[in-house]
Structure 1
Amino acid sequence: MKHTGGTWSTYLGQLRRAGLIHEDATGFTLTEAGWTYLGHRPAPMTAQELQQHYLGVLRAGAARMLQAAIDAYPNGLTKNQLAHEAGVSVSGGTFSTYLGQLRRNGLVDQHDDLVIATEVLMHGATSNQLG
């Protein structure tokens, strides 16, 4: 489903009107009513569970990039280093696509010229990050 499509907008509107989600600059979160609707709030994943989850669901190249960022932590990698470690061409569109996916999912940040695994990915979420 495309986030620009009418179906997305319809579903999103229904969730908002029902008071099940909240949207702010960082994205969407479930409200307490949303969690109640689901039946329970799951226990947060540990850092290792979170890493294994994403390494298992990402495409192979993105997973290799994520593993390289995890292995380098707390240090970062330049884009060239990250591409080299993952066996992906830094000049290709695939690299940019994968890096964007990792950033959108909150798995890596970019600081200056370095790509660094996020604190949440490496240490797990704190209670105030869970909403």
Structure 2
Amino acid sequence: MSVQVAVRQPDDSKYGTVIGQIKIDDAVSKKPLAELFYNRSGVLTMGVSQIRDVSSLKMTEVGKVDVGTRFGFEMGFEKGVLWVRIAEGKRIELGTGNVGAPKSYFKVGNYNQGDTESVVEIFAIEVLH
């Protein structure tokens, strides 16, 4: 999935607003496999589940973009390899613990994790299968 986005106002939670997710089949786990967070400092962190159906996110800082700036990100999950790329940065591969490689799908949006308002502007979404 490739997305063009600007986070105008991240929420006040530790890791910030979730702007992208990789979900796996609900029969396998109701929890997201991966979540891309964007915080008030512009830091992007990818949380990746390590155990099926348990909140077990392993957090990895994957980039930084100034708040309000339009940027692109890509997320992929192919043949058991999960990866993310922020802006024109390098592709970062992340481990998925014992989750394996179940069928999955992608989500993009404004998934507020905090107590304050968050504003996310989405310009483009492209998904290749």
Which category of TM-score, normalised to the shorter sequence, fits these structures? under 0.3
Larger radius of gyration: 1
Higher helix content, 1 or 2: 1
Higher strand content, 1 or 2: 2
Report the TM-score, using the length of structure 2 for normalisation: 0.24
Report the TM-score, using the length of structure 1 for normalisation: 0.24
Q: Which has the higher contact order (CA 8 A, sep 6+)?
A: 2
